[in-house]
């Protein structure tokens, strides 16, 4: 039987500051292939070349990855500020429509970092462009050296940095088999006010929203603020998340092949 297909969203990138490209981090692809046991297929975060209906007819699940850009504030009725750039409005256009369509059609959907923010905005959430500026919040951005550069050691950058408290008996608590997990943290923007269908199931020690599900979704529709793609081969929390995603993707693939 062929392996299930998981569409992995790309984001705009300029090669040598000149040549437009679509980029996907390899760790996302490996997490899908090695832990979710599916075949990752990149699709463009560009609305003029990505037909969402055809995409969802072809794949068995969707992964919304992290990315350097922020969701544009116009998507949640906030004035843009140059200090919160860069933006990728093409990816916004694709990701928000893909999120809505996945939930409507029951296509398994997993959002990581920027992906959870896209899921939130698609269902009416607002975002704060810099969570660390809110009173009482920690700095959730990547670990940096004294000169301001991101730490060169990836194991330091992606190390677990804080706890996430999960709703007792919720989807995530059952999935992980516990009510508290430790996760990495590499983001500036985050969900501020969740939309009506956005159910918060996990919060950091400082109150930052870290795990959500979409109420009323007929299939898997979960998002986490941390980078679970970093180490699901060895990290039991991230492994459980990608395994659960892979199981629902596999179920959908088998159902489509026998119908």
Which tens digits make up the pLDDT trace of 208-223? 999 999 999 989 999 9
Q: What is the pLDDT of residues 33-47, one digit of tens each?
A: 999 999 999 999 999
Mean pLDDT over 21-31 rounds to 95
Q: What is the pLDDT of residue 255?
A: 83
Dihedral sign (CA 227, 33, 39, 258): negative
Look at residue 18 and give its three-state secondary structure. Answer: coil
**What's the CA gap between 142 and 22, in Å, rounded?**
23
Beta bridge partners of 46: none
Least-confidence region, from 30-44, 129-143, 162-176, 243-257 = 129-143
Quick one: residue 16, left, alpha or beta (phi over 0 = left, psi -120 to 50 = alpha)? left
pLDDT-derived band at 81 (thresholds 50, 70, 90) equals confident
Its sign, for the CA torsion 193, 144, 135, 170, is: positive
229 confidence band (pLDDT: 50, 70, 90): very high
pLDDT of residue 146 exceeding 70, the answer is no
Which residues, 6+ apart, have CB-to-CB distance to 42 below 8 Å?
A: 7, 8, 9, 10, 22, 24, 29
Fold type of domain 5-258: Rossmann fold (3.40.50)
The mean pLDDT value of the chain amounts to: 90
C-alpha–C-alpha distance, residues 64 and 213, integer Å: 14
Q: Give every CB contact of residue 39 below 8 A, 6+ residues apart in sequence.
A: 2, 3, 4, 5, 6, 32, 33
- pLDDT mean over 58-81: 91
In degrees and rounded to multiples of 5, residue 141 shows phi and psi of -75, 165
Q: pLDDT at position 77, please?
A: 85
The CB-based long-range contact list for 243-246 (8 Å cut-off, 24+ gap) reads 243/35, 243/36, 244/175, 244/220, 245/36, 245/61, 245/63, 245/108, 245/110, 245/220, 246/4, 246/32, 246/35, 246/36, 246/37, 246/38
Rounded Cα–Cα distance for residues 157 and 142 (Å): 6
State the average pLDDT over residues 61-86: 88
Structure tokens at 90: 């093409």
- The per-residue pLDDT for 145 is 53
Q: Is the pLDDT of residue 105 over 80?
A: yes
pLDDT one-digit tens code per residue, 147-206: 656 656 576 566 676 899 999 999 999 999 999 999 988 767 889 999 999 999 999 998
Between 9-23, 122-136, 138-152, 178-192, the lowest mean confidence (pLDDT) is in 138-152
């Amino acid at each position: 039987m062929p392996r299930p297909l998981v569409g992995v969203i790309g984001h705009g990138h300029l090669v040598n500051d000149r040549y437009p490209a679509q980029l996907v981090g390899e760790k996302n692809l490996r997490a899908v292939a090695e832990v979710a046991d599916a075949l990752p297929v990149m699709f463009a975060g560009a609305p003029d070349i990505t037909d969402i209906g055809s995409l969802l007819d072809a794949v068995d699940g969707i992964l919304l990855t992290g990315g350097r850009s922020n969701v544009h504030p116009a998507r949640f009725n906030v004035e843009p500020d140059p200090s919160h750039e860069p933006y990728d409005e093409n990816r916004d256009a694709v990701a928000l429509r893909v999120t809505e369509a996945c939930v409507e059609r029951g296509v398994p959907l997993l959002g990581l970092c920027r992906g959870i923010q896209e899921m939130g905005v698609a269902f009416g959430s607002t975002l704060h462009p810099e969570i660390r500026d809110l009173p009482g919040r920690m700095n959730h951005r990547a670990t940096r050296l004294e000169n301001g550069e991101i730490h060169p050691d990836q194991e330091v950058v992606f190390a677990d940095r804080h706890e996430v408290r999960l709703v007792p008996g919720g989807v995530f608590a059952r999935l992980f088999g516990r009510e508290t997990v430790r996760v990495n943290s590499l983001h500036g923007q985050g969900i501020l006010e969740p939309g009506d269908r956005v159910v918060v199931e996990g919060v950091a020690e400082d109150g930052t929203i870290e795990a959500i599900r979409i109420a009323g979704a007929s299939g898997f529709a979960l998002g986490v603020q941390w980078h679970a793609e970093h180490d699901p081969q060895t990290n039991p929390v991230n492994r459980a998340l990608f395994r659960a995603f892979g199981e629902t993707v596999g179920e959908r693939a088998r159902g489509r092949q026998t119908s």
